[in-house]
Structure 1
Amino acid sequence: MAQKQALAEPSDPASPAAARVVPPLDPAYLERPRIASDVRVHRPSEEGQPWIIQRGTAGYFRVQPDLARLVQALDGTRDHRALVDLLGAPWTTADVAKALHTLAGARVLDDGAERPKRDRRLRFVPPLTVQFTVLRPERLLSRMSPLLARLANRGVAVAALVCALGGLLALALMAPALTAALGAPLPLAAYAGILGGVLATTAVHEFSHGALLTYYGGRPSRMGVMLFYLSPAFFCDVSDGWRLGRREQRVRVALAGIAAQAVVAGVAALSCLFLSASTLREAVLVFALASYVSGLVNLLPLVKLDGYIALMSHLDLPHLRDRSMTDGRRFLSRLLFGGRYVRELPELRWSVPYGLACLAFPLYLIGSAVALWAGLLQRIGEFGAAAVCAVLCYVGYRLWRGARRLVREARAAGAPLWRVALAGTLAAAAVAAALMLVSVPYRLSGGYVTGSDGRVELVLPTSADMGAVRAGEPVALYRAGVMTRSRSGSATVQDPHATSTTAPISAFTPVSGDLLSLPASGVRLRVDAAPADRTGAAVLDTGRRTLAVWCYDTYLAPVWRW
């Protein structure tokens, strides 16, 4: 389970990132302007730092001192002439009018509309993130400030580092036990304990972001849960960190959660040195490794995880990812369509490859999430299968929007229409050729069950493509664990005619015990090498199919296969 900081990156109010498409402001509100009720102006915490204009809990703008003075003067009693008199040279009425239109576009000015006192708890963040605010931790963390001050010392930091590194050494020393734990099914109670530990560690992770921000004088606005590219995750909004004067403070806030998570993982791994071989030790080993891996994933700077926020804070470049993706998109446009483009980040030589990686990585995340959840959703019925199709349709829509944006930028940069049409035709032809000519293995995943008479039966979900099952096709039998699996036997299909049956959950998931049975389709197997376990995972190899047929059979056909 991933953790993510919800961060609103500061902008210039005149930048496209700062403004949305909003109705024009009534001229009456521009004659004697006032700032909106949810707007605050923050002085720089250190000499030479920019002023910050905060709009609500999610809008932050870096501005120069002159513009900050103008915003502070907007109390609704002064017209443009009075503002010029107050601000003095070099301000003119034309400058004031231009600045006010910019501020209006950034929704900094009062437009007569009632602003919500609190932000919505449920938010959708494109392209595929849904956030739900559970807690507003500012008051709680403020009360904990004395404790935070006591913990912020070098001794605690050294102890934390020893725990984190010591845990890694403990996992290395216990490699055989760790390998066995990852490759064997565990009882349901063990998974419940691991899940509870992960949830508790995630809470510590998020509170660590907020705690360090509070220690430096900031205010975390909200914490909650979310679906991050179809994967469950947690977040802590540390947008107020942009008011911190020093970039190293913002980097520490970004990495605080990973550091806390590594300490918890280290303590868990070290405790295994004192536990005897048991299910408890296996569960703690799995939990420790999962916590370390989650911390490493959070260091990735390709999506808005902790690693990206730390990198952006270190470079002090707001919207680093978005601007790099713009450079990457423009590089592709120039390569495909021609034209002249201006780079967003010419000072960063690596912005183009970084931007291209940021464009591609979300597709990998979505593909991984679909591969992980599709089978489970399709097993629950027509609704689950339709949900998978809906997600894939949305992904296709986002890809279409991305392609349209690429073409629009190319045309705006002077790319000739004939070249755009030619590149689009070639791209469509390449996709069609891949769908029709590229063949991929088509496998059915399920489980096996050994009956009391010794016969082994292949069990598949009721949504499986039973028409693909033929006599004599090979079936690989596995012992599946929480993260790895090992080959435990082999068989072939003896009778392709399926019968309706039930199978223990241990045949479909790496859970030991037969606490629950699920409906399934059973197929008789001829065993070549008998597995030691009574139940386990099975994969039926039905040959190869073109990519188009594979996509249809895997994701579309299950909708009406029920």
Structure 2
Amino acid sequence: MTVLGDGTAALHDTGPVPGPGGWPVTYEQVATGNLPVAEPPPTVPRLSAGLRLHGEYQGSGFTEPKYIARRGDGQVVQLSRLLYLVASSVDGVRDVEAIAHRVSARFGREVSGENIRFLVEKKLEPLGVTVPEGQEDDEVDAPRSDLLLALKGHRVIFDERRTTKIARSLSWLHRPVVVALVLAAVVAMDVWLFGFFGAIEPVLQVLDQPVLILVVFVLTVASLVFHEFGHASACRYGGARPGCIGCGLFLIWPSMYTDVTDVYRIGRAGRLRTDLGGVYFNIVFMLAMAGAYFATGAQFFLATVYLGHFEILEQLMPAVRLDGYYILGDLAGVPDLYGKIKPILLALVPGPRGDKARQEVAGLKKSARTIVATWVLTMVPLIIGELGYALWNLPRILTTMVRSLTEQLVGTGSAFVDGKIVEGLVGTIGSVMLLCPMAGVVYLSVKIGGRLVRAAKRTTEGRPALRLVVCALVLAGLTGLSYAWVSGVTPKPLPKQPPIAPILQPGVPTEAPPARQADTPDRSTGPGDPSAPASGAPGLPAGASDGPSPAESSREASASASPSASAPGATGGNASRSPVPSSGGTAADPVPSPSDGTGAPQPEPSPTPSESVPESPTPTPTPPPASDTPDPAPAAS
């Protein structure tokens, strides 16, 4: 305080003094209450629960390096180098300023605290890598990729610790010398099985005995588990760390999986070894089954070997997310091939959208771009063709599915009611094998339909004229297709056939349905009447029959027995390439009179005493055997 000449006092700044919270304030600020507002504490980012940073994507097909992180919910995200450096510097202790100093030193360029705050809030939080500010727990609800053909409903069977032990104990099987011996052994086994022994004989023996079918089913499930051990052990052999082994639903079919995300940080050769590890262990399993056959003589082991070949072929198909898909993706250096379908197709369209898609495609190396473009341009027409083929054959598919499912469930229930437990269990397996493809077709159809509708709405948003055109085209297509279904232009349902594997379909008739006569025979004359026509049509002169001639009967019989001849495209089909069961149903064409297979008509049965037979003074001559009856026209093969 300073005393003036008139005796008054004046206040003046005495310098900063410690104030509330340690912030420097002046005396005037304290006296007037105009205190400075304290700045918020520095932000301390945190990683989301279960996040793993796997490092740089080795052997990538992108021009810029990509880094891989895996969230706790299993979603894999790709990060740029700067984002990966920021995420790897987040430990829950450092604030944005400390992270900025650390990232600047590693990135080689100056990065400020405000830059770090922006990257964390606008880039990493939307991806689910970091926790939003102010949230207490570390669980995040981040968006996931809506993959059409992804595995759903994951359930862990072997956790990471047990998987690591299993992989460590089996990794020696991936040594080059062992691999060469295994491949040589499987070649010798196949030459013996298919060239000398006969691979189909063990399968027929198994189909004849219900208990053996259950045994083969259990062995097939064991081969699936062993297949996953191959992926995990190959991952371990290559220097990566395998995760858990579990199961889920692929479309609607139960499938197994192995978490090998860590292979992205090893070289391309290691990833390909991991991709092929499952198929390689299928081969090892088949060799073990062949050894069990030589030790015991039980042929159901060879039936398991035979089925194992189909499992390998299925796994190597690159159309769906199985081993072949990931092998092709690792060859191209692109982890998600399906994610590149849209930009590859849009890059062919002129205009702004095409330019944006071409920029995204330009981020791929030339070799990767070639592989991905070839795959896309091959798969898209194939998928569209299969979808169109399934819609065209939809009536016959639904008819056959409902008919087969009804017979299967009724027959299996009857087996249990009659106390045939083994037959009932085998029939249950057959029911599951029939239900899963059906449910998969329905699920896939609903998903594809929903995606097409949403894509059409997004494309035509704000463009009413285009939306009207699209609706008109869709309506015209559905109208034409419905007319084809109703008018019978599309192929008719498959004729009912006896089951190929009767043991899987208990209660289903194993004989072909009885032949249906085209006309009602005249009972006024019997087969022994000398006036009976030689053509076998009672009451009608030769050449004047209103039913099919013997040659026509033979052709129709062959057509009803051969699915490929009953109607165009008789093999059926649907979007998921599920086989359409051939059992059950009614024939589309009139069924001819019985034939002995030579094209000659069979004699009518002898009349019963209750039937009226004209008296004859001479004995009724006995007709010659059916095989000696001359055929008036050559039978169609």
Q: Please indicate, yes or no, whether the TM-score normalized by the shorter chain is above 0.5.
A: yes
Q: Distance in 2 between matches of 1:387 and 1:221?
A: 28
Is 1:255 the counterpart of 2:271? The answer is no
Is 1:96 the counterpart of 2:112? The answer is no
Q: Distance in 2 between matches of 1:174 and 1:323?
A: 47
Q: Does the Cα contact within 8 Å between 1:326 and 1:355 map onto a contact in 2?
A: no
Shift, 1:205, TM fit: 0.7
Query: What secondary structure is seen at the aligned counterpart in 1 of 2:514?
Result: strand
Query: What secondary structure is seen at the aligned counterpart in 1 of 2:587?
Result: strand
Could you give the per-residue CA deviations for residues 405-446 of structure 1, whole angstroms, max 9, x where no partner exists? 432464479994454344334433343343334333234647
Deviates more, 1:312-321 or 1:420-429: 420-429
Q: Distance in 2 between matches of 1:360 and 1:298?
A: 22
Equivalent of residue 44 in structure 2, options 16, 32, 57: 32
Could you give the per-residue CA deviations for residues 261-300 of structure 1, whole angstroms, max 9, x where no partner exists? 0232245357667887xxx32x233211110110111001
Q: Distance in 2 between matches of 1:207 and 1:237?
A: 11
Q: Distance in 1 between matches of 2:404 and 2:447?
A: 24
Q: 1:54 to 1:173 in 2, by over 3 A?
A: same
Report the counterpart of residue 69 of structure 1 in structure 2: 85
Q: 1:165 to 1:104 in 2, by over 3 A?
A: same
Equivalent of residue 429 in structure 1, options 473, 479, 498: 479
Q: Distance in 2 between matches of 1:386 and 1:297?
A: 19
Q: Does the Cα contact within 8 Å between 1:302 and 1:361 map onto a contact in 2?
A: no
Report the counterpart of residue 100 of structure 2 in structure 1: 84
Which consecutive unaligned segments of at least 5 residues does structure 2 have? 1-39, 141-145, 363-368, 414-430, 518-556, 559-581, 590-637
Q: Which has the larger radius of gyration?
A: 2
Is 1:541 the counterpart of 2:564? The answer is no
Query: What secondary structure is seen at the aligned counterpart in 2 of 1:189?
Result: helix
Report the counterpart of residue 172 of structure 1 in structure 2: 194
Q: 1:293 to 1:150 in 2, by over 3 A?
A: closer
Could you give the per-residue CA deviations for residues 312-338 of structure 1, whole angstroms, max 9, x where no partner exists? 11211121123225645x589x69x99
Q: Does the Cα contact within 8 Å between 1:34 and 1:75 map onto a contact in 2?
A: yes
Matches within 5 A, 1:107-506: 107-111=128-132, 112=135, 114-115=137-138, 126=148, 129-144=151-166, 147-148=169-170, 150-174=172-196, 177-182=198-203, 185-243=207-265, 245-269=266-290, 280-281=298-299, 283-324=300-341, 327-328=344-345, 330=346, 340=354, 342=357, 345=361, 347-348=369-370, 349-356=373-380, 359=383, 377-378=405-406, 379-380=408-409, 394-408=443-457, 410-411=459-460, 416-417=466-467, 419-437=469-487, 438-443=489-494, 445=496, 491-492=514-515
Is 1:60 the counterpart of 2:76? The answer is yes
Q: 1:435 to 1:250 in 2, by over 3 A?
A: same
Q: Distance in 1 between matches of 2:296 and 2:455?
A: 57
Q: 1:405 to 1:181 in 2, by over 3 A?
A: same
Q: Distance in 2 between matches of 1:97 and 1:362?
A: 49
Could you give the per-residue CA deviations for residues 219-272 of structure 1, whole angstroms, max 9, x where no partner exists? 3322233332333332222223223x2011111101101011023224535766
What amino acid is aligned across from residue 46 of structure 2 in structure 1? R
What amino acid is aligned across from residue 490 of structure 2 in structure 1? S
Query: What secondary structure is seen at the aligned counterpart in 1 of 2:493?
Result: strand
Report the counterpart of residue 14 of structure 2 in structure 1: none
Query: What secondary structure is seen at the aligned counterpart in 2 of 1:350?
Result: helix
Q: Calculate the TM-score normalised by the size of structure 2.
A: 0.56
What amino acid is aligned across from residue 309 of structure 1 in structure 2? Y
Report the counterpart of residue 521 of structure 1 in structure 2: none
Q: 1:490 to 1:255 in 2, by over 3 A?
A: same
Q: Distance in 2 between matches of 1:99 and 1:105?
A: 10
Could you give the per-residue CA deviations for residues 24-58 of structure 1, whole angstroms, max 9, x where no partner exists? xxxx9994322223223344598997543332261
Q: Does the Cα contact within 8 Å between 1:148 and 1:215 map onto a contact in 2?
A: no
Which consecutive unaligned segments of at least 5 residues does structure 1 have? 1-27, 118-123, 448-476, 495-527, 530-536, 545-562
Query: What secondary structure is seen at the aligned counterpart in 2 of 1:439?
Result: coil
Query: What secondary structure is seen at the aligned counterpart in 2 of 1:225?
Result: strand
Q: 1:107 to 1:132 in 2, by over 3 A?
A: closer
Shift, 1:154, TM fit: 2.2
Task: Report which structure shows greater RCO (CA 8 Å, sep ≥6).
Answer: 1
Q: Distance in 1 between matches of 2:249 and 2:399?
A: 16
Q: Distance in 2 between matches of 1:262 and 1:47?
A: 28
How many residue pairs were aligned? 433
Q: Does the Cα contact within 8 Å between 2:403 and 2:585 map onto a contact in 1?
A: no
What amino acid is aligned across from residue 424 of structure 1 in structure 2? V
Q: Distance in 2 between matches of 1:369 and 1:309?
A: 32
Q: 1:338 to 1:302 in 2, by over 3 A?
A: farther
- Report percent identity of matched pairs: 17
RMSD: 4.9
What amino acid is aligned across from residue 163 of structure 1 in structure 2? A
